[in-house]
Amino acid sequence: MAKKILAVTACPTGVAHTYMAAESLAKAAKEKQVEIKVETRGAVGVENEFTEKEIAEAHAIIVAADTDVLESRFEGKPVVKVPVAQAIKDPNGLIDRALDMKAADADDYLRQVEKTKANRSASRSGPYKHLMTGVSHMLPLVVAGGLLIAISFIWGIKAFEVEGTLPAALMAIGGGTGAFGLMVPILAGFIAFSIAEKPGLAPGLVGGMMAAHTGAGFLGGILAGFLAGYSALWLKKAIKLPRNLEGLKPILLIPLLATAFTGLMMVYVIGEPVKAIMDGLTDWLKSIGSANAVLLGLLLGAMMAFDMGGPVNKAAYTFAVGLTASQVYGPMAAVMAAGMTPPLGLWLATLIARKKFTQEEKDAGKSAAVLGISFITEGAIPFAASDPFRVIPSIMAGSAVTGALSMLFGATLKAPHGGIFVLAIPNAVTNLGLYALAIAIGTVVTALMISILKKTVN
């Protein structure tokens, strides 16, 4: 009987990595003549979701994800668990590992389904994963809010101050009373949800709201999310009730106690110190001189290119996004410019150094250009995977230059995603000409370094 494999892919943003990983696994499985079904958990929701019967019949499961994918569904089955980028870089190796695993008995699995439903948080671990689950749920609010705020500036940078006008309405929807006001609560809520599932959601949302109102910002939201999640998880395990009263735990006891604990900690212990840190960081970023600005842009730019959508990239992006809630927009401009540069530089390199790329890579360069202008850094991954020691230093250099120049030029960006398409919105970017120049210079630096470092293809 042929072995069937299931795979689930998910990245924090739910855009590029999720679907690139799914495509790579499907392509590798087809070449190996292995039956596979890939479930994607992206920005548009869950697609190709597994049934319990499919999970039961699968030989093994590949989990290529950086966010929560309800792994407890697979308890009792052999699981190959890796970061989502690994599925893009080495799909053949993952499929071989899955095929080599000892199969679990389907009946044993089905007998465990009901038991695992009662404790789905058992297989979840890792602070990074919980953080990225919160970030992935926060990002749609950030993008929608940022774009609406940017659109409100079409009528003038202060047009929203006139009550009753369309710019004022757009600012209200996208700003602190709308999408941006929900950023920190959603971040905290879904960090807690990832840790403790449904019982953690209420205390996480409340803790995040307290962080927003006390001025603790996104740092306070992150702390509130972890505090709420782990306190709810502890209560979930510690409270023992008769079976007929178990239903009170997730509905009444855990939300009540965890919410009270998290809220009190935010008011009396965490809120003020973290607010002081956020205020200090904000004041420093608003007052930094050109030398410090260049160094910050250099660091953020290099981080954006280092792993092209991985943990380091997401750390830089999350930092910049969090600062937009404090009206600090310079790092956001540097981060987006530096994230666009790697795919654009590789596309340019395929044009000016054609002898150093295969025909397949030249074709991929065209796709990389489209991904680059769309601020999807993952377009550089196929090139980096095939020649990491030459490509990664090159794209890091180009992105570092772009980030440094963006900060030096004093560019700011109020729309946290969208690439070249948001640059056309009036007043969304300050110093637009110099900002575009920073991206162009970084692109050229990347292309030249790759052209020098890469060897000619025979």
Active site residues: 11
Per the CB < 8 A criterion, the answer to whether 175 and 415 are in contact is no
Closest CA to 417 of 337, 345, 325, 347: 337
- 320: which residues sit within 8 A by CB, 6+ positions away? 300, 331, 332, 334, 335, 416
Q: Which residues of 180-215 are buried (b: 16+ CB within 10 A; e: fewer)?
A: bbbbbbbbbbbbbbbbbbebbbbbbbbbbbbbbebb
Residue 452 sits at φ, ψ, to 5 deg, of -80, -45
Tell me the β-bridge partners of 5. Answer: 36, 60
- DSSP string across 170-214: HHHHHSTTTHHHHHHHHHHHHHHHHHHSHHHHHHHHHHHHHHHHH
Query: What one-letter code names the amino acid at 328?
Result: V
- Contact of 347 with 54, CB cutoff 8 Å: no
Distance in Å from the first CA to the final CA of the chain: 43
* CA atoms 442, 448, 453, 458: torsion sign: positive
CB 79 within 8 A of CB 104: no
Total length of the chain: 458
Q: What are phi and psi of 5, to 5 degrees?
A: -120, 140
Residue 184: name the closest of 150, 153, 146, 225 by CA: 225
- Report which DSSP code applies to 59: S
Cα separation, 247 vs 352, whole angstroms: 66
- In this structure, the strands spanning 45-47 and 35-42 are antiparallel
